[in-house]
Amino acid sequence: MKPIVTLTLNPTVDKSTTADHIIPDQKLRCAAPKFEPGGGGINVSRALKRLGAESVAVFPVGGPSGVLLRELLEQEHIQQKPVETVSRTRENFIVVDASNGQQYRFGMPGTPLSQEEQQQVLATLKSLPEVPEFLVISGSLPPGVEPEFLVRIVRAAKGMGIKVVIDTSGPALHQVLEEGVFMAKPNVGELSKMAGVDELDNEAVAQAAHKLVQDGKCEIVVTSLGPQGACVVTKDTADHIPAPAVKKRSTVGAGDSMVAGLVYGLSTGLSVAEVGRLGVACGTAATMNPGTELFRKDDVEKLYNWLLQQTLPTAA
């Protein structure tokens, strides 16, 4: 099987903890912090590892927090191709109020990525020892990076015969789709913006996604519907997949886990219907664990088997 490569332009070290109560203007006693590697593509690589697939994570990294990020990935046995930067890697903070289970997520701004460092990222991707089957581009853009840089990466990857999977938002998503990718995973809000409406119901989601496929912007559109599951659309099918009912503890990494399930399914030859259900199973399983733990494989298998019993897709 050809390798899978993930690209994270705005990686992070996620620090998570819990407090008995979150009360303003008081010193809060917190549990010992837990440090985990984070950022869209990095989480996809971590999730792929849990499914039994190898990937290569490409990401910019710098400073003491960057050293920690690399160490954390080594602990999880993730293959990595870091690009050294002048700026230090950002850190995010997640705290859970133990009294009510509410989660507070503090996302810090990314650190700048210079033009020279961007070129180093592109050169790293082009110099991989083996051309991958999939390139997963996931996460936000750091300061100094314009959407056009993603377009250049996508264009280069397609020229090498690589299938590009995109999971980002805003202008970056819109411009990359103009270039065309293999699969896109917008949420329903992003799909609504592209359709030029305030909101979409289930039928309208399928129609808007199908238009993206018809216009040649991607071959598969997986629209995340949050607690309602996902809608998977190709030129021939529209598949609404419900999310199994589970006790949710955290939504951190759920979207990245879904992407990992989708890509793993595609790389192992599953049908599109099976791929969509595996993606939903992975995303749902990730919400069952606290903090940034992602999912447990046995939870994924149970949810996936349950979803396989659901209605199969209908013609679009």
Instruction: Tell me the catalytic residues.
Output: 256
CA gap 276, 205 in Å, rounded: 15
Sign of CA pseudo-dihedral 97, 229, 56, 122: negative
In terms of Cβ atoms closer than 10 Å to its own Cβ (0-12, 13-18, 19+), residue 265 is buried
With beta carbons less than 8 A apart as the criterion, state whether 167 and 258 touch.
no
* C-alpha–C-alpha distance, residues 233 and 145, integer Å: 30
H-run or E-run covering 173 = helix 170-179
Nearest to 35 by CA among 7, 18, 16: 16
Spatial separation of the C-alpha atoms in residues 158 and 179, rounded to whole Å: 10
SS3 300: helix
